[in-house]
Amino acid sequence: MTVETPSPTAAPPVDFRTSPDRYRHWRLAVDGDVARLTMAVDPKQGIRPGYELKLNSYDLGVDVELADAVQRLRFEHPGVRCLVIDGALDKVFCAGANIQMLRQSEHGWKVNFCKYTNETRVYLEDLAEASGVRTLAALNGATAGGGYELALACERILLIDDSQSAVSLPEVPLLAVLPGTGGLTRVVDKRKVRRDLADVFCTLAEGVRGKKALQWRLVDHLAPSSRFAEERDRLARELADSVPDRSDRVGVPLGDLAFEDGAGRRTYRYVTLSWDEDARTAELEVRLPDEAGPKLPEEAHAAGRDWWFLDLFRAVDDALLHLRINLPCVNLVTVRVVGDPRVALEHDRFLTEYRGDWFVHEVVHFAKRVLKRMDLSAKSFFALADAGTAFAGTFLEFGLAADRLYVLDDPDEEVFLGVGLLNGGDYPMSHGLTRLEARFYGEPERVARLLESPGLVPASAADELGLATEALDLIDWEDQIRVYVEERASMSPDALTGMEANLRFPGPETMESRIFGRLTAWQNWIFQRPNAVGAEGALQCYGTPRRPAFDYRRT
């Protein structure tokens, strides 16, 4: 028997917009080329009522601010070469995800919380890999569960050596769940901790301290209390100096993303999301401007946050999060990119030519991360390429990310798809393949042919080339699409989520895809098992005088 929990619709919608002057849980300070992000969680400011965020424990609201801080560092403080993450409390860095929050949350909220937190940790790793900002976790006290997982997402880990502070992943022995934000995978894949030692570590509720943590590769550096701050600053300086100087860069303020909410609709400048919860469907419309611009990096810098390409992808990102967290009953999303496909390809040429400019570089990588969020969203996506659409270049990625791509083949108003220069590798999926490579995993020669001759492809040829799931004529279009949409929206969302997660990622794996594939799937399952969430499950009994009662049959 599972515990009844409040429906997510009872709470107000989550707004993913924030800024450093509105942070309640983090302090961001930039000193030259070193940034310091200090975790100072306000216990009274949970994103939902009913729990306190004690000991720097966190919920979705804490991670929304963390994601915003990482994003702002990339755009607003491009001169930063090292980011230090530390804690404001004495003898505690972070106690991990708040257990009371998990206990009272319904299943979907828990899973979506874990997924968003996973993505935020991956974004932190991408900050180092793609943007060259070195990262250091300075653990000034006890670091448990999600707190250690945050540290694992950094390149280096410094632990205070005071005979008391330990790093731990105590979820298995204490809560009968898993470290839900990539901990298990990062311990063995990234830290390369020996399997038997990792097994011991992940079943020790008290964790591992000092020299043993260093010997087991759980941390990189130790420092006594008397020299902890000094060692933190020394390592930050060393890491910053390992990156070429970038003090000539001028940041681009992001501000808040603007949108208007209406009944069943959210409208942004270049994007509209509309939904019908009774039909379990939504429509995501992406609109291109009439002209490709900018033509030079200086023009992109001058436009700043109003550069249409950046503004558009910020809107898509927000729309995807709104769908995930605030519209759980939507099962199917239809996607249309409206505009001139030649505009899309011309803009891709600008992005390709000036990818060496730091701002252009960051915007392309942001688009990459947004497209990955679409891949990982537990929604079905059907792309509809009909009259007036522009699935070309970067915007072809929306069609390739969709589970199906339907194309209208009408001789009176021809529809074009377009392969561009960036489709060949600038937007990899979590498992390292491009969406073209994933689509044609059994026919790699098709990818080579398409990339050798980039440009527009008429709908009449899209089916033959394999870009279309099906090409429909005008007579059949409306009725067939309606049937396909109604059929998909009527299917079990649980079964569809499992099916899509298997079909979207053929071929090889990376650490990132393993994190989402292993942990998201199994955490989803474990979060429903009575051993964790039943009336006598460990998650329900933790912090009470009751002992959990387990069903000891392995399944």
Q: Tally Cβ neighbours within 10 Å of residue 73.
A: 20
282 and 379 housed in the same domain: yes
Domain end marker among 503, 524, 546: 503
318 and 223 housed in the same domain: no
pLDDT digit string, tens, across residues 172-209: 999 999 998 899 999 999 999 999 999 999 999 999 99
80 within 8 A of 33, measured Cβ to Cβ: yes
At CA 335, angle to CA 332 and CA 341, rounded to 5? 165
Residue 384 falls inside a structural domain: yes
Domain end marker among 503, 523, 546: 503
77 within 8 A of 28, measured Cβ to Cβ: no
Question: Which amino acid, 423?
Answer: N
Token pair, residue 99, equals 């257990």
The rounded distance, in Å, linking the Cα atoms of 493 and 376 is 14
276 and 153 housed in the same domain: no
Residue 12 falls inside a structural domain: no
Residue 336 falls inside a structural domain: yes
371 within 8 A of 319, measured Cβ to Cβ: no
123 within 8 A of 135, measured Cβ to Cβ: no
202 and 93 housed in the same domain: yes
Four-point Cα dihedral 309, 312, 313, 314, nearest 10: 120
Residue 80 falls inside a structural domain: yes
Residue 257 falls inside a structural domain: no
Domain end marker among 503, 525, 546: 503
The rounded distance, in Å, linking the Cα atoms of 119 and 125 is 10
> Residue 398: CB partners within 8 Å, gap ≥ 6?
286, 335, 337, 371, 374, 383, 391
Token pair, residue 200, equals 């011991």
182 and 293 housed in the same domain: no
Q: Which residues of 30-62 are buried (b: 16+ CB within 10 A; e: fewer)?
A: beebbbbbbbebeeeebbbeebebebbbbbbbb
Burial category of 257 from C-beta neighbours within 10 Å (exposed 0-12, middle 13-18, buried 19 and up): middle
Number of folded domains that form the chain: 2
One digit per residue, the tens of pLDDT, for the chain of length 555 reads: 333 344 444 578 999 999 999 999 999 999 999 999 999 999 999 999 999 999 999 999 999 999 999 999 999 999 999 999 999 999 999 999 999 999 999 999 999 999 999 999 999 999 999 999 999 999 999 999 999 999 999 999 999 999 999 999 999 999 999 998 899 999 999 999 999 999 999 999 999 999 999 999 999 999 999 999 999 999 999 999 999 999 999 999 999 999 999 999 999 999 999 999 999 999 999 999 999 999 999 999 999 999 999 999 999 999 999 999 999 999 999 999 999 999 999 999 999 999 999 999 999 999 999 999 999 999 999 999 999 999 999 999 999 999 999 999 998 888 999 999 899 999 999 999 999 999 999 999 999 999 998 999 998 899 899 999 999 999 999 999 999 999 999 999 999 999 999 999 999 999 999 999 887 777 788 999 999 999 999 999 999 999 999 999 988
Phi, psi of 97 (to 5 degrees): -60, 140
pLDDT digit string, tens, across residues 116-151: 999 999 999 999 999 999 999 999 999 999 999 999
Residue 253 falls inside a structural domain: no
Is cis: bond before 170, omega within 30 of 0?
A: no
The rounded distance, in Å, linking the Cα atoms of 217 and 234 is 21
First to last CA, the chain: 17
**pLDDT value of position 10:** 56
**pLDDT value of position 413:** 86
Coil, helix or strand at residue 399:
helix
Q: Please report, for the domain that includes residue 307, its CATH number.
A: 3.90.226.10
Residue 465 falls inside a structural domain: yes
Per the DSSP assignment, residues forming a β-bridge with 333 are: 282, 381
167 and 44 housed in the same domain: yes
233 and 272 housed in the same domain: no
How many C-alpha atoms does 550 have within 13 Å on its Cβ side? Answer: 14
- The domain containing residue 382 runs over which residues? 263-503
Residue 516 falls inside a structural domain: no
282 and 237 housed in the same domain: no
Q: Which of 78, 80, 65, 75 is nearest to 31 (CA)?
A: 80
The rounded distance, in Å, linking the Cα atoms of 188 and 201 is 11
What percent of the chain has pLDDT above 90? 92
DSSP state of 253: -
423 and 384 housed in the same domain: yes
Q: Which of 162, 157, 165 is nearest to 226 (CA)?
A: 162
482 and 350 housed in the same domain: yes
What order do you get walking across the sheet with 380-385 strand by strand?
260-262, 265-267, 271-276, 281-287, 332-338, 380-385, 404-408, 470-472
75 and 130 housed in the same domain: yes
278 and 179 housed in the same domain: no
